[in-house]
């Protein structure tokens, strides 16, 4: 019930901060992919499995091999190749490892679905979050029962998964307040940023993502790009990294530095960190798909400095994120990059991404993009408007340019990084 307690606290705080306004709508945006299992009474069977739990990595490999052409067939079916993050792999894991819980399973929800259920009593989801399960297809706009049957062909899956609501549908009420269907965190951020075609987002949080909106669905058999749907009726090709600011936080701890000090150290070192290169796959990686990988540090010499280590950490994360962006650019046109997330507030991250990218880079003026996107969805559902109409009315989409530093060798840094990645892990 921690999620519900957090909702109650956040709801009360938002009312207090806004001077107790009239609330016209509610929507929940939550982390994609996770698995919340309920019994026939609607009670939670076991602790939720979150997206970054890689315990189901063997199931991802097994599932991929169940279709004749493997990854290519999965991409054609759902726009994505299943990895450990996807809900279908977690269902396979549950079926394989916890038969008692499996026998009592009545409903499988995503994190945002569970909160919507607490608010409305409705078992319902949206197309954006559904597209990250591994068993709903953005290409057809329908569940793929044949893929769920791979996990368990004796179950009536139509009674187990939630109904997929329309993008601006009111799915219920909470204390008389209309509740929208909710969505995944990345889909919510796209709404909150007023994201338009041609703009790609790099989100720098504990983990990282690169994504863009598209008018056409994507299907990447390499598995680097997940062909998700967005929350508005369009599509959201996305590449995800498991490691972002958690890497620089770990390096700061090793250096005995606070976050601001690590930023200062990184900014004091030259581009390329004197030949020091860090591969930031500290806790496994999703892009590329290396769930059991670890980090590498190359180029150490006896005169290595704290500044160089800090710089190498930031550059390593930024190179990983730009690799993810390159994968997006292969399937969707991109002419500028917007940085969001906690890492976007760091001068070091902003400066290094701008130095290493060949595109204009900016930061969003939206402070909490996911929460803002949930508000956009709530307003659209409650007021009968499109998401784009709400975004225009709220003047979303403003970007502050990041100046590209002079005298940096961006191509050399990325080449240096690519050489280490190739030596450490063939991809």
Name the strand (E) or helix (H) holding 9.
helix 2-17
Report the length, in residues, of the chain.
427
Question: Alpha-carbon distance 358 to 41, whole Å?
Answer: 54
Q: What number of other Cβ atoms are within 10 A of residue 309's Cβ?
A: 24
Alpha carbons within 13 angstroms on the beta-carbon side of residue 153 total 2
**Tokens representing residue 396 in the block:** 């979303």
d(CA 422, CA 286): 16
Query: How many CA atoms lie less than 13 Å away from 101 in the CB half-sphere?
Result: 21
Nearest CA to 170 among 232, 229, 120? 120
- Tell me the C-alpha distance between 138 and 90, whole Å: 20
Quick check: is 113 catalytic? no
- The answer to whether the Cα torsion of 302, 304, 309, 311 is positive or negative is negative
Rounded to whole angstroms, the Cα distance separating 252 from 256 reads: 6
Residue 16 burial (CB count, 10 A) = 9
Rounded Cα distance, 427 and 411, in Å = 20
The one catalytic residue among 113, 129, 185, 220: 185
CB atoms within 10 A of CB 425: 15
Tokens (6 digits) for 2: 């921690």
- For residues 339 and 211, the answer to whether their CB atoms sit within 8 Å is no
Q: Can you tell me the distance from the alpha carbon of 340 to that of 318, in angstroms, rounded to the nearest whole number?
A: 13
For residue 283, say if its preceding peptide bond is cis, omega within 30 degrees of 0.
no
Tell me which DSSP letter residue 164 carries: E
- Residue 80: how many CB atoms within 10 A of its CB? 27
Q: What share of the chain is helix, strand, coil (3-state, %, to 5)?
A: 45, 20, 40
Tokens in use for 49?
Answer: 């499995």
Please list the alpha-helical segments (H only) found in 65-154.
Answer: 71-78, 87-97, 99-104, 111-120, 127-130, 145-151
Active site residues: 185
């Amino acid at each position: 019930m921690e999620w519900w307690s957090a909702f109650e606290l956040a709801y009360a705080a938002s009312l207090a901060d806004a001077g107790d306004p009239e609330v016209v709508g509610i929507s929940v945006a939550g982390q994609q992919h996770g698995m919340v299992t309920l019994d026939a009474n609607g009670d939670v069977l076991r602790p939720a499995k979150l997206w970054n739990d890689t315990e189901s990595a063997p199931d991802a490999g097994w599932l991929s091999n169940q279709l004749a052409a493997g990854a290519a067939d999965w991409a054609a079916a759902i726009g994505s190749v299943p990895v450990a993050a996807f809900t279908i792999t977690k269902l396979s894991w549950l079926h394989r490892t916890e038969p008692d819980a499996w026998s009592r399973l009545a409903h499988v929800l995503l994190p945002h679905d569970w909160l919507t259920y607490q608010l409305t009593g409705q078992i319902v989801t949206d197309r954006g979050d559904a597209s990250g399960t591994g068993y709903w297809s953005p290409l057809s706009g329908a569940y793929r029962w044949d893929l769920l049957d791979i996990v368990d062909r004796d179950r009536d899956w139509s009674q187990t998964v939630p109904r997929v609501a329309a993008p601006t549908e009111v799915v219920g009420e909470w204390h008389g307040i209309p509740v929208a269907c909710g969505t995944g965190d990345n889909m919510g951020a796209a709404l909150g940023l007023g994201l338009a075609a041609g703009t790609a987002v790099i989100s720098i949080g504990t983990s990282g993502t690169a994504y863009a909106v598209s008018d056409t669905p994507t299907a990447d058999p390499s598995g680097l790009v997940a062909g998700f749907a967005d929350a508005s009726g369009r599509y959201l090709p996305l590449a995800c990294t498991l490691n972002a600011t958690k890497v620089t936080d770990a390096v700061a701890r090793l250096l005995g530095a606070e976050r601001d000090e690590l930023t200062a150290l990184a900014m004091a070192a030259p581009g390329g960190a004197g030949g020091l290169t860090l591969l930031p796959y500290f806790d496994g990686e999703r892009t590329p798909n290396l769930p059991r990988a670890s980090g590498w540090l190359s180029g150490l010499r006896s005169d290595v400095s704290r500044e160089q280590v800090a710089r190498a950490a930031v550059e390593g994360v930024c190179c990983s994120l730009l690799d993810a962006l390159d994968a997006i650019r292969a399937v969707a046109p991109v002419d500028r990059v917007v940085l969001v997330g906690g890492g976007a507030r760091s001068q070091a991250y902003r400066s290094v991404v701008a130095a290493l990218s060949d595109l204009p880079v900016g930061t969003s003026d939206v402070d909490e993009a996911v929460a803002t996107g949930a508000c956009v969805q709530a307003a659209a559902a409650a007021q009968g408007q499109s998401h784009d109409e709400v975004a225009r009315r709220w003047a979303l989409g403003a970007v502050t340019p990041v100046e590209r530093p002079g005298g940096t060798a961006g191509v050399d840094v990325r080449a240096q990084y690519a050489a280490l990645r190739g030596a450490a892990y063939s991809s």
